[in-house]
Chains A and B, each alone.
Chain A
Amino acid sequence: MARTTLNKLLPGEHGTIEKVDATASAIKQRLLEMGLTRGTNIEMIRFAPMGDPVEVSVRGYRLSLRRIEAESVIVLREP
């Protein structure tokens, strides 16, 4: 399993969240509260028509976030 960031996952790829490393405390708090906590499985679903934001599946629901925010989520890519 390779350590990477959420924005690097391609549609269909899964990863396990290691930590959220956003510098802005409010963004970090929101991402955590939306269920992006350590050990959670996350799947990249699709990119928006213009490439940004992206849609992920986490804890059984769909969440959209921008690439720049996805970059702060450190994941272990699953093979």
Chain B
Amino acid sequence: MNPVRTEKQLRHIAIIGNPNAGKTTLFNALTGLRQKVGNYPGVTVEKKEGRIVFDDGHEAILLDLPGTYSLTANSPDEKVAVDVLLGRSKYTAVPELVICVVDASNLERNLYLISQIIDNRIPTVIALNMFDVAERDGLTIDTGKLSEELGVKVIPTIGSKGVGIKELKRAIAEPSAPSLKSRQWKLPQPVQEECDELKGMLQKIHHLAEPLAFHEAIVLLTSSSALAEHNDHFAPELIDHVKKDHLHLERLGIDRNSVFVESRYEWIKRVCASSVVSKRRSVSSTSDKIDRILTHKVWGFVIFLGLMVLMFQAIFSWANAPMLLIGDAISWVDSQIILIMPPGDLRDLIVNGAIAGVGAVVTFLPQILFLFLFIGFLEDTGYMARAAFIMDRLMSKVGLHGKSFIPILSSFACAIPGIMATRTIENRKDRLVTMLVSPLVSCSARLPVYALMIAAFIPPHHVLGIFSLPGLTLVAMYLLGLVAALTMAWFFKKTLLKSETPAFIMELPPYKMPSLKSVILHMWERSKLFLERAGTIILGVSIVLWFLATYPKVDHGSPAERLDLSFAGRAGHLIEPVIRPLGFDWKIGIGLIGSVLQREVFVSTMGTIYNIKDAKDENGGASLQDHMRHDVDPRTGLPTFTTLTAICLMVYYVLAMQCMSTVAVMRRETNGWKWPMFQVGYMTLLAYSVTFVVYRAGLFLMALHS
């Protein structure tokens, strides 16, 4: 019934808006779950696309452009948006229609971006979002009047409640024309003349389309640095002309930076005066009351730290029940396969290689879900911006920006989105420093390693009645990562990448009720990535490790001796002299080798190693933790793992760079191998030396006690 159209024939629609205007919620409401996340070629700005299905069944592609305040292109994110809208992007077609999401309660500043977008003469529909918040703040907006002033359709929406989505869909289903009105904002006479002249030259010499020529003319007239940057793009006569223009405007006493911005805001003032009835101009008072506590001198910190502790302790205890369930389910699958299949190498491969390896990692899915749930809620409520506000002083102490705090905080989930989140940092050196230290923050892939080691070797004592020792140990590991990241950032800012502390200019959006749908969708997207990794790389590594730990086959001796003689055992022995000073034996060596690709592989490696060892007692229900606890080094007669070994191992995992995906992302982000290689080098060195110190200090303390 539906008309079949290929990808190329579908209409391309783009959605754009200020950060915090509710763009993501509207995007989700318009596309449902028909989304895919990718990257713009060449730059690592996340490209999110979805499909809108209209009432009559036909479809369109909706492209989610990065949230931005203006099209001046200060950051790579903004550059992508500008390039798409101006048709400069080689890979993305110019959208046939742009949906601009506008925060109705913050109309003036949001209209700044709108004024730049309608300058480009692309058909536009405005979604006047958060209409309810504006009304609550005492703003009445005459949408008809606003639409008339801007020359484009204006649809009031409340994205969080799904209000206005139908109307918005109907508006974008109809063919739209660009705003018929000529540019409404007026420049002072001499500036207007220079601007028109330059636009004409750009059209004539460089054959630019009118909107692009106008945009470039403004950029060139505004800043001298833009002129220097684009020196090679433009004809010498044009550059000479611009230089003369700069001098001319300076002689007239015109501030080139402010004249364009001020002219746009003049126009915005006129638009608002005619279409907005304002009874009371104040930001939602509830938000203010909350902020009085959450950014309070004392309570602000107490609550911030409390939230962090709550997050990590909750991950540890709440996720326990579902983890046990998954563990049981895996055992059940194992037992079914053992029933069905005859004994032999193939069954061994499936049960002890594939299922043991992947299963050990999948068990940690509940913890990862909880982590993303927390981060999603913090982001969606608006608390994340307050965290940056509270932490900026500390970040500026190490020479970074409060904005660096968000990539670093995101790295608690995974360094990859963390590194990608550095795109919002405009200064190249600051961005590089943030990228270099982000992987030191404990990501979710380390959680399985910590969880395993803590569950096996940290006694579940209580401290001060409410805190459990395992919970505190976990907090300590996360803190160690954070402290290491900040220290290294300070060090890099002082030495290798010396530069000024960057500016901090950030909006503090009003608090809002989080949208459960957005949070869950985000959680699902990230968890899917984790599962895909578990399903592909880890499956492969598990099978290879099973092979290495099983062959060459020896028919005599105890299971431990057989492992000792296998390929894996030999490799472990080979690196043992290097890791002995850290208190690690050859079995941990196998784990370290395996997890060079992905940290969580350590857990599956241990699973594989210990399952193989106990291949004989298939009915033995003891967990991996028990096996590790009771494992004895045959040569020394001492346990392989002690609490000290467990702590050293965790410290090593906190600091070492064992993630191929992060290396790959670093290579793409920095456009070369230099920085990722440097990163691997410095992190390995750091991990090795700190673990060495911890191990020696631990041994010393133990000697003192006995």
Across-interface contacts of B392 in A (CB, < 8 A)? 48, 52-53, 64, 66
Expressed in whole angstroms, the minimum distance between the Cβ of A22 and any Cβ of chain B is: 8
Expressed in whole angstroms, the minimum distance between the Cβ of B304 and any Cβ of chain A is: 9
**B262 and A37 form a contact (CB under 8 A):** yes
CB-based A-B contact count at 8 angstroms? 131
How does the 8 Å CB contact mask read for A59-74 relative to B, with 1 for contact and 0 for none? 1111111100100000
* 9-residue interface stretch from B68-76, B438-446, B625-633: B68-76
How does the 8 Å CB contact mask read for A26-37 relative to B, with 1 for contact and 0 for none? 111111111101
How does the 8 Å CB contact mask read for B213-246 relative to A, with 1 for contact and 0 for none? 0000000001111000000000000000000000
Please judge, given known A-B contacts A34-B505, A69-B503, whether A59 and B258 are in contact too, CB under 8 Å: no
Expressed in whole angstroms, the minimum distance between the Cβ of B336 and any Cβ of chain A is: 57
User: Does A50 lie at the interface of the complex (its beta carbon under 8 Å from any beta carbon of B)?
Assistant: yes
Whole-angstrom CA separation of A10 from B563 in the bound complex: 71
Expressed in whole angstroms, the minimum distance between the Cβ of A8 and any Cβ of chain B is: 18
Expressed in whole angstroms, the minimum distance between the Cβ of A73 and any Cβ of chain B is: 11
**A19 and B295 form a contact (CB under 8 A):** no
**A63 and B507 form a contact (CB under 8 A):** yes
Tell which of B106, B137, B297, B508 touches A64, judged by Cβ atoms closer than 8 Å: B508
Tell which of A30, A51, A61 touches B503, judged by Cβ atoms closer than 8 Å: A30
Whole-angstrom CA separation of A38 from B503 in the bound complex: 21
Across-interface contacts of A35 in B (CB, < 8 A)? 108-109, 112, 265
- Of all chain A residues, the one with the shortest Cβ separation from B394 is A50
User: Does A49 lie at the interface of the complex (its beta carbon under 8 Å from any beta carbon of B)?
Assistant: yes
Expressed in whole angstroms, the minimum distance between the Cβ of A43 and any Cβ of chain B is: 10
Expressed in whole angstroms, the minimum distance between the Cβ of A25 and any Cβ of chain B is: 5
Whole-angstrom CA separation of A24 from B506 in the bound complex: 17
- B284-313 interface (Cβ within 8 A of A): 288, 291, 295-298, 300-301
Across-interface contacts of A48 in B (CB, < 8 A)? 295, 389-390, 392-393
Tell which of B265, B296, B505 touches A30, judged by Cβ atoms closer than 8 Å: B505
Expressed in whole angstroms, the minimum distance between the Cβ of B307 and any Cβ of chain A is: 15
**A51 and B283 form a contact (CB under 8 A):** no
**A37 and B108 form a contact (CB under 8 A):** no
Across-interface contacts of A42 in B (CB, < 8 A)? none
- Of all chain A residues, the one with the shortest Cβ separation from B265 is A37
Expressed in whole angstroms, the minimum distance between the Cβ of A58 and any Cβ of chain B is: 8
**A46 and B295 form a contact (CB under 8 A):** yes
Across-interface contacts of A24 in B (CB, < 8 A)? 503
User: Does B105 lie at the interface of the complex (its beta carbon under 8 Å from any beta carbon of A)?
Assistant: yes
Whole-angstrom CA separation of A55 from B402 in the bound complex: 14
Across-interface contacts of B296 in A (CB, < 8 A)? 49
Residue among A19, A55, A66, A69 having the largest count of chain B Cβ atoms under 10 Å: A66
Q: How large is the interface on A (under 10, 10 to 19, 20 to 34, 35 or more residues)?
A: 35 or more
Whole-angstrom CA separation of A35 from B296 in the bound complex: 27
Across-interface contacts of A69 in B (CB, < 8 A)? 503-505
Expressed in whole angstroms, the minimum distance between the Cβ of A54 and any Cβ of chain B is: 10
Please judge, given known A-B contacts A32-B261, A66-B504, whether A60 and B108 are in contact too, CB under 8 Å: yes
- Of all chain A residues, the one with the shortest Cβ separation from B299 is A49
Tell which of B70, B106, B508, B509 touches A60, judged by Cβ atoms closer than 8 Å: B106
User: Does A57 lie at the interface of the complex (its beta carbon under 8 Å from any beta carbon of B)?
Assistant: yes
Across-interface contacts of A26 in B (CB, < 8 A)? 74, 225, 426, 503
- Of all chain A residues, the one with the shortest Cβ separation from B137 is A60
- B399-445 interface (Cβ within 8 A of A): 402, 426
Across-interface contacts of B262 in A (CB, < 8 A)? 32, 37-38
Across-interface contacts of B257 in A (CB, < 8 A)? 20, 25, 28-29, 32
Whole-angstrom CA separation of A53 from B507 in the bound complex: 12
- B497-538 interface (Cβ within 8 A of A): 503-510
**A33 and B69 form a contact (CB under 8 A):** yes
- Of all chain B residues, the one with the shortest Cβ separation from A41 is B281
Expressed in whole angstroms, the minimum distance between the Cβ of A45 and any Cβ of chain B is: 8
**B505 and A20 form a contact (CB under 8 A):** no
Please judge, given known A-B contacts A25-B224, A26-B74, whether A61 and B283 are in contact too, CB under 8 Å: yes
Whole-angstrom CA separation of A65 from B502 in the bound complex: 11
**B393 and A52 form a contact (CB under 8 A):** yes
**B508 and A53 form a contact (CB under 8 A):** no
Across-interface contacts of B288 in A (CB, < 8 A)? 45
Whole-angstrom CA separation of A33 from B485 in the bound complex: 33
Whole-angstrom CA separation of A3 from B108 in the bound complex: 26
User: Does B396 lie at the interface of the complex (its beta carbon under 8 Å from any beta carbon of A)?
Assistant: yes
Please judge, given known A-B contacts A19-B258, A25-B223, A33-B112, whether A60 and B504 are in contact too, CB under 8 Å: no
Please judge, given known A-B contacts A25-B257, A49-B390, whether A66 and B108 are in contact too, CB under 8 Å: no
Tell which of A29, A34, A37, A64 touches B389, judged by Cβ atoms closer than 8 Å: A64
**A60 and B105 form a contact (CB under 8 A):** yes
Expressed in whole angstroms, the minimum distance between the Cβ of B442 and any Cβ of chain A is: 25
Whole-angstrom CA separation of A40 from B510 in the bound complex: 21
Tell which of B300, B390, B507 touches A62, judged by Cβ atoms closer than 8 Å: B507
**A50 and B504 form a contact (CB under 8 A):** no
- Of all chain B residues, the one with the shortest Cβ separation from A63 is B507
**A62 and B223 form a contact (CB under 8 A):** no
Residues of B within 8 A of A (CB): 69-70, 72, 74, 105-109, 112, 137, 222-225, 255, 257-258, 261-262, 265, 281-283, 288, 291, 295-298, 300-301, 385, 389-390, 392-394, 396, 402, 426, 503-510
A-B contact pairs, 8 of them (CB 8 A): A29-B257, A32-B257, A35-B108, A35-B109, A37-B258, A50-B394, A55-B291, A57-B283
Question: Top 4 closest A-B pairs, CB basis?
Answer: A50-B393, A32-B261, A62-B508, A59-B108
